[in-house]
Amino acid sequence: MTIELSEQEQLRRQSLTALRNMGIDPYPAARFEVTASAREIAENYDPEQGNYQEVRIAGRIMSRRIMGSASFFELQDHSGRIQVYIRRDDVCPEGDPTLYNTVFKKLLDIGDFIGVEGFAFHTNTGELSVHCKSFTVLSKSLRPLPVVKEKDGQTFDAFTDPEVRYRQRYVDLAVNPQVREVFVKRAKIMATMRDFFNERGYLEVETPILQPIPGGASARPFITHHNSLDVDLYLRIATELYLKKLIVGGFEGVYEFGKNFRNEGMDRTHNPEFTCME
């Protein structure tokens, strides 16, 4: 099957070839150790203390403003975004401008991963930034991102199509920062629930997912076959029966965060299902 590439995808593959011809291979790149995240710098930078004067961060390029021998770009890591200021004379100290004029300005694109080494400072307009002293190409993005643009409080080209968002969740996470917050909040809620029950003496357990009898609720199960045992098994539709056995066995209180599988109607509120018994 022949896959037809868009013009952008063809140009990015040409850039990848050019990078490799220059001795830069981003698949895989050399390990780049980071010392801080964008959020940590934003929350803790204090110009009076002079902290973050030697910082290493890494992430995706999400926007660029090329201005001759100096430029700005936004770097996005797992915690958020931060502006980076880059000058030709800083990243090309030996006089060869190739790394800035060719690699940064012509061969890098929105979505590429790079590592930046530099120091934190405030620009003349008061925006917190990282002054780039050197950078490392970590990965080349061969497909363009649907980058969301913001200006004067208005959002343009937002990635909002529900069908595409759910089918390409990775793109949704990359360009819509608020979506990542949903995952973070979910994890915090579950951690809080765990702490609540653990502090009260409950024991977290795991019960079998493949069961010989689909008991504990009235629902249609998914059926599978265990080849080695030559028996039919069922994906669990509830956790109650095994939790009750643990109570009978002597545990005073148990709980489980578990996925149940019911071969019928779908309900987004049962993800995951939580069961507690005492």
Beta bridge partners of 128: 122
What CATH code is assigned to 7-144?
2.40.50.140
> Rounded to 5 degrees, what are φ and ψ at 182?
-60, -45
Q: What is the C-alpha separation between 80 and 71, in angstroms, rounded?
A: 20
Which ranges in the chain are annotated with CATH 3.30.930.10? Answer: 189-277
CATH T-level topology, domain 189-277:
BirA Bifunctional Protein; domain 2 (3.30.930)
Q: Using one digit for the tens of pLDDT, what is the confidence trace for 207-251?
A: 999 999 888 888 889 999 999 999 999 999 988 899 999 999 999
Close Cβ partners of 149 (under 8 Å, ≥ 6 residues apart): 63, 155, 156, 157
- What is the per-residue DSSP string for 159-189? ---HHHHHHTHHHHHHH-HHHHHHHHHHHHH
**Which pLDDT value is given to residue 89?**
93
- What is the per-residue DSSP string for 16-52? HHHHHHTT---TTPPP------HHHHHHH--TTTT--
**Which pLDDT value is given to residue 228?**
95
Which ranges in the chain are annotated with CATH 2.40.50.140? Answer: 7-144
**Which pLDDT value is given to residue 94?**
81
The ranges of the chain with pLDDT < 70 are 1-2, 148-157, 266-276, 278
What pTM was estimated for this model as a whole?
0.80
